[in-house]
Amino acid sequence: MSDPAIRVRDESGIGVVEIDHPPVNALARPVRAALLEAIERLAHDPAVQAIVIHGCGRHFIAGADVREFDAPPAEPLLHEVLNRVEALDKPVIAALHGTTLGGGAELALASHYRCATPDLSFGFPEIKLGLLPGAGGTVRLPRLVGIRRALELMTSGTPIGIAAARELGLVDHELRGDVLAGAVAFARERIAAGAPPRRTTDLPMPAPESPTVFADARAALSAAARRVPASEAIIAAVEASASQSWRAALAAARERFDACRRSTESRALRHLFFAERVPPPAGTPQPVATVGVVGAGTMGSGIAIAAAAAGLEVTLVDAQDAALAAGLGRIERHFADAQRKGRLDAAGAAAATARVRGATTLEALAPVDLVIEAVFESLEVKRGVFAELGRACRPGAVLATNTSTLDVDAIAAASGRPADVVGMHFFSPAQVMRLLEIVRGRDTAPAVLATAFALGKRLGKIGVVVGNGFGFVGNRMLYAYGREKELMMLEGATPIEIDRALETFGMAMGPNAVGDLAGLDIGYAVRRGWRERPDDPRFYRVSDLLVEQGRLGQKNGRGFYRYEPGGRRGTPDPEVDALIRAEAERLGIARRAIGADEIVERCMLALIDEGVRLLEEGIAARASDIDLVWCHGYGFPRERGGPMFYADTLGLGHVLERIRCYARTRGPRYWTPTASLERLARDGGRLADEPSAPTTSATGRG
């Protein structure tokens, strides 16, 4: 073959095509070319009666090579290869196992027969990259499973297992044991039965399940899905398949695919795809089998749940018997609920629960491999805990602090062994949220940093290594974002106007609703201990005022909004509007109407500006790290790629001009552009290409 990723051999009349392109057998251009060459060779070999296509390793084919989507399509195009596979006059059997996604699933549909192992994961995740199945999926899938189910599979991107695939008729035969041997045996059975090629495109399109099937599919799209053009493109492509010949419908789908490929939304999602796959930090991770968690509150018990679910033995420590009992109860209820919802069987839930044991003294952590501290966000409290951990834990154990804003170096110094200390900032709820900020202290050993990163991966987290400085990356930027929404409330925007504008932009929640959910008193306490808090009476004055008035958020039913008992959706409260107006008058701030465009622009520019500063200071290693933090931890819309990618789509010249405009109209205190932004704007550069300073450990701003 022209590429060693494709091997062909004859199994006594069965032509076997093996795809061996680690790690996931992606259908890159050389692989497609060699696959087409192999198919043509076997098509013209009179000794070959049937063909088996097999993916080597743990996967059949996990899709296309995503790197190719940034360039114009290169021949042979995948749909051309698959059309040739389907057109063969010899039976073609796809031997499916493991991950069979995207282009791999489309190859399976173009094959005449499909057999699969029990570990099958079959699906069309293209929508998660802002794309649609462009090699025949929109034509072939509805012919096999019906229009409604095809739309569900492609617009959700959620894969299905062997049971669902068999029920839908996507799999003809389930394999046990060796996948290739089983597929060859199945091929011989097809030959013995005189089974002909069975072409999916020869099947008629099924009638729509209802006259409103396409309207229903559009109505079922989430707000986020509607912001991605590929969602509508998938529905339109299947709609075309219902009314056109399969060749015309496939051509139309190809045009839609290419338009989606060029869209900003797809480029943003592909940007995040690659950002999530950055190599781990240098250093050899230490093995971790046992974990200690200090603090049995909501965060500590959430971390314990995540660790136990990943198969780790956990010791949960809290000095208060009642708090420990409450934490262990939360853990037990979590796994019982997982069993009730079918995520775990009874044995799995019982085993996970049993992996967590409680203790009331830090001496119980003497044998563990890694400890995560999750106590009250106070530097004095955390330093006291680490002084004890430094004595109680075995030499070489990793000591991690879950602080969200505090100085990791100051905490590490208290331990007496700062090389063993690292920040592991989980986001609440820790058993759900994927982001993990891994904070490199001044003395953190490379192996300790690598161990924290590896543990995060085992827990299913997106780990982002950041430098040490107040708020690290996420929370420091949050204060810039929140600063502008707080100033705009004093200037005339209401809390609901701000939240609606930013949610329309795509944020998962408006910042005022987020504050109420988290508890306004939490941020209030953090700001009291922030040494570098801006000396500005307007800074976070609205949030501070609400706390001083006893309005803490959802926890007591009154924050920016008013909440009914047990309710999570607040309603605007005229009392809050009156408080804000009175405070603005006291501070001498003239009020005006503020439109949604200004609300969004000021909040986004504040995020971008602070992100640029983090890159300059080396707190963030790369712009894409900042995007990961904000998309995974703060609800930034993925289809916009994160704040730094969004800045590049706006154009840095435009960003600089708007910052200068606000410097003139709102004052230079918060609107002084950085030197690197001015340079990049002048040179036509992008933040995506900007190298940061070395990731630092620092106090204060960095």
End-to-end CA distance of the chain: 55
Structural contact between residues 39 and 27, judged by C-beta atoms closer than 8 angstroms: no
| Residue 196 near residue 91 (C-beta atoms within 8 A) | yes
Half-sphere exposure of 432 (CA within 13 A, CB side): 6
Relative orientation angle of helices 408-415 and 379-392, to the nearest 10 degrees:
40
- 3 state DSSP class of 93: strand
Strands (DSSP E) found in 277-327: 290-294, 313-317
- Taking the C-alpha atoms of residue 687 and residue 649, their distance in angstroms, rounded to an integer, is 10
Please give the DSSP secondary-structure letter assigned to residue 460.
T
The C-alpha atoms of residue 112 and residue 53 are separated, in whole angstroms, by: 11
Structure tokens at 639: 């289809």
Cα dist from 218 to 275, 535, 637, whole Å: 30, 50, 20
Q: Which of 37, 80, 86, 126 does the annotation list as catalytic?
A: 126
**Count of C-beta atoms within a 10 Å radius of residue 440:** 23
CA distance 408 to 422: 7
Task: Please return the burial class of 603, using the count of CB atoms within 10 Å of its CB with bins 0-12, 13-18 and 19+.
Answer: buried
In terms of Cα–Cα distance, which of 247, 263, 233 is closest to 87?
Answer: 247
Separation CA 122–CA 153 (nearest Å): 10
Catalytic residue among 18, 80, 86, 106: 106
Tokens of 224: 């986020």
User: Does the annotation count 167 as an active-site position?
Assistant: no
Instruction: At 490, give phi and psi (nearest 5°).
Output: -65, -30
Q: What are phi and psi of 327, to 5 degrees?
A: -65, -45
Omega within 30 of 0 (cis) for the link into 211: no
| C-alpha–C-alpha distance, residues 350 and 342, integer Å | 14
Query: Could you give the count of Cα atoms lying within 13 Å of 325 in the half-sphere of its Cβ?
Result: 3
Return all residues near 334 (Cβ < 8 A) that are at least 6 apart.
305, 431
Alpha carbon of 361 to those of 303, 306, 393: distances in Å? 18, 22, 12
**Non-local CB neighbours of 154 within 8 Å, separated by 6+ positions:** 124, 126, 127, 132, 133, 137, 138, 141, 234, 238
* Closest CA relative to residue 88, chosen from 31, 32, 48: 48
Q: Are 290 and 369 in contact (CB under 8 A)?
A: yes
**Residue 398 to residues 22, 71, 417, 592, 630, Cα–Cα distance (Å):** 34, 44, 10, 53, 27
CA–CA separation, 564 vs 477, rounded Å? 32
Q: What is the DSSP string of 196-210?
A: PP--GGGSPPPPPSS
Q: Cα angle at 63 between 58 and 64, to 5 degrees?
A: 130
Closest CA to 534 of 585, 479, 586: 479
DSSP secondary structure code for residue 608 in this structure: H
For the question of residue 126 being annotated catalytic, the response is yes
Q: Where are the beta strands (DSSP E) in 329-379?
A: 356-359, 370-373
Partners of 53 in the beta sheet?
A: 17, 94
Q: How many other C-beta atoms lie within 10 A of the C-beta of residue 125? A: 19
Distance CA 114, CA 126 (A): 21
Catalytic residues: 106, 126
